[in-house]
Amino acid sequence: MRRTLRNTRWRGFATAAALMCATLPSVTRGVAQGVPQGAKLQLNNLEKLSDKASEVNDVTLEGALLELASKFMEADHDPDTAQVKEVLKGLKGIYVKNFEFDEPDQYSQADVDAIRAQLAAPGWTRIVESHSRRSREHDEIYVMKQGDNIAGLAILVAEARELTVVNIVGNIDVNKLSLLGGHFGIPDEDKDHHKRKHKNDDAYPARDKDKDKDKDKDKDKDKDKDKDKDKDQAAAEKEDTDDDN
């Protein structure tokens, strides 16, 4: 009798344990499988670049400060600011690291690869990659998905003389994300595109520059020819009118 009771207890315990294991949240299992717990990147390895860089911008906005920023925007009645506030609502942190160098190749590939290694972890997906050999620029955008939501975003911009990493953690509405450009140290794409265009003139091969110059010269020549034609026509018309008189 005792033995059957003990057996029944053990069976009940085993069933409960099996049920618990089966219903354990996926997050807990994720720890064992090495799935990253958050979308926050470790960017400490870039600190050493501060010594070489001519311009450094490092922004860390999280917790109370993010709330404060949101509260300030609440007070602003500008519609754009209101939309930025909406984006901020779901965010947990904004981290920006930007280094500008006077000389090219001041950071190593290993520095960038250390960040890429984190972005290669399960959960992260690369959605945009743009590579330009001419301007020696490599841009990447990664998102971390959790179900249907985006739990994190990372932007990696590696240029010959500049390195920028933007990491946004929290619920993100991708449609409204562009509104954050120009706020909290996040580059404004429109302004930045213009700035980069000018900056990349240095990296632009001299051969192409000469080609462009030649094109410009040709255009100028064509313009001169057109002008001469106009002048000739005007002179001929003048002569005609003089003859008529």
The C-alpha angle with vertex 198 and arms to 196 and 202, in degrees rounded to 5, equals 100
- The distance of closest approach from Cβ of residue 50 to another protein in the complex, given in angstroms and rounded to an integer, is 8
Closest separation between CB of residue 185 and another protein, Å?
7
Binding residues for another protein, rule: CB under 8 A, are 53-61, 63-65, 67-68, 71-72, 74-77, 102, 185
Q: Which is nearer to another protein, 46 or 143 (CB)?
A: 46
Alpha-carbon distance 46 to 207, whole Å?
Answer: 34
Shortest CB 97 distance to another protein, Å? 10
> Would you say 53 or 158 has its CB closer to another protein?
53
Q: Rounded to the nearest whole angstrom, what is the least distance from the CB of residue 46 to another protein in the complex?
A: 12
Tokens representing residue 170 in the block: 């929290």
Q: Tell me the DSSP string of 27-79.
A: HHHHHHHT--S-S----GGGGGGGGT-SEEEEEEEETHHHHHHHHHHHH---H
CA-CA distance, 128 to 191, in Å (whole number)? 20
Q: Which CB, 76 or 239, lies closer to another protein?
A: 76
Q: Which is nearer to another protein, 59 or 174 (CB)?
A: 59
Length in residues, the chain? 245
